[in-house]
Structure 1
């Protein structure tokens, strides 16, 4: 019997999600991993499929920036859609067997997974042939509204991308676009249809169960991710604000980063953040929780190591002396724009942005 490994990842930066799809897809083609289902949430982002038209983004660049919404071009099918907190994004990474190698059947099966899941929560939904996705209200209904978007990509019968189910999604963000290029109908969420918010893990559980049932596969739980912290150390105020960057030694990647490290057994994330800050820089500060957790993959080949990182910020005194650990060969205090340009990963950049915003509020 086929198996599906289910990953429940929480928040994943969009570019990290694309990379994880690519790595797992390559590993699946080489027979190194089983089929996989990624269930996650993205920060606010507009994604454009191969058929997307830019005019279907109705907001200006300034409005998008004010709302904290970014844009990405993708290789999935479809037009423009929105991802954001409160929306479950599902990425099935399946190598379809010969009896399932039919694009229309695959899309119908994905739709069926969502329809069955919504029914579990008392929501009647279906499809509208002329429009993609899963809908509440039938064709011709004046109040037909999309509750889930579908945009898939198949290459050599390997599936990537997938679906986005609106659970507790901020529906106002859909006003920034013409969702999937459809002007004649609106969007909805499970929260709007039921009148109350739902627990994301509960909905993920039902989705995982239905995906395994529809695709006739045995479910395997993904291994627990490695837990780490990132700490953005700052000094100064206002235009004089600076971020401490550390450069990893060449054998460790040679890139610039903020303080990072693993949460050891028995430690809280805050304790790990304070310890790593002291060990890597010699700075004894009290890190502030930034309420930022995200998941990503480490490495470029199977077996992949998944990491769940917890972000912190720390305000340092201007004349604090930095003492480097052996894993770094240089450090610099740089202004915020330079730090954001130099950091190679979105998760590190977001940690810095949140630390700057948090300490600005306290100033």
Structure 2
């Protein structure tokens, strides 16, 4: 059993292709719960380092040479009760820092088998409808707007 207490500071990394497809991964501890890459900061690492580490751990993608973008956006949300045991007693809210990672095209990924069951690439509209987290869905919709406005789509 993991006795390490998680920090209530995390990253959300939307991995997307130039044509607006978004990578989703299915949680192993909650089958049917699809999401983008997420994870808590460890120690005093910089948030960009957390994002790079989580992308590597959860997908096998080395983002150190890719266009990782810090949105400088934070979402504060209530931690689901079934996951609160991972945090210090009394911690009920998490601050999530948003990043995106642009890839030229969808690619195969290597999942962390203990964390995720499956992966898929979907057009951003479908990805936003499939994720379980409201903040994840909101950020994917914002990504779609950004891609549309900058002419990528």
Q: Same fold (TM over 0.5)?
A: yes
Alignment of 1:229 with 2:6, yes or no, is: no
Alignment of 1:281 with 2:59, yes or no, is: yes
Q: Deviations over 1:149-199 (max 9, x none)?
A: xxxxxxxxxxxxxxxxxxxxxxxxxxxxxxxxxxxxxxxxxxxxxxxxxxx
Q: Flag the structure with more relative contact order, 1 or 2, with Cα contacts below 8 A and sequence separation at least 6.
A: 2
Check whether the contact 1:282–1:323 (CA below 8 A) recurs between aligned residues: yes
**Which protein shows a greater Rg?**
1
Aligned residue in 1 for 2:3: none
Aligned residue in 1 for 2:100: 313
Aligned residue in 2 for 1:300: 81
How far apart, CA to CA, are the structure 1 residues paired with 2:12 and 2:106?
22
Cα distance, 1:265 vs structure 2: 1.5
Cα distance, 1:271 vs structure 2: 1.3
Cα distance, 1:319 vs structure 2: 5.1
RMSD of aligned Cα (Å): 2.1
Give the TM-score normalised by structure 2.
Answer: 0.77
Cα distance, 1:235 vs structure 2: 1.0
After TM superposition, the structure 1 = structure 2 runs for residues 1-363 of structure 1, keeping only pairs within 5 Å, are 226-237=8-19, 241-249=20-28, 252-254=29-31, 255-285=33-63, 286-300=67-81, 303-318=90-105, 320-326=107-113, 327-360=115-148, 361=150, 363=152
3-state SS of 1:277 partner? helix
3-state SS of 2:93 partner? strand
Could you list the runs of 4 or more consecutive aligned residues of structure 1 that deviate by over 6 angstroms after TM superposition? none
Check whether the contact 2:75–2:96 (CA below 8 A) recurs between aligned residues: yes
Aligned residue in 1 for 2:4: none
Query: Which structure 2 segments of 5+ residues have no match?
Result: 1-6, 85-89
The number of residues matched between the two structures is 134
Give the TM-score normalised by structure 1.
Answer: 0.35
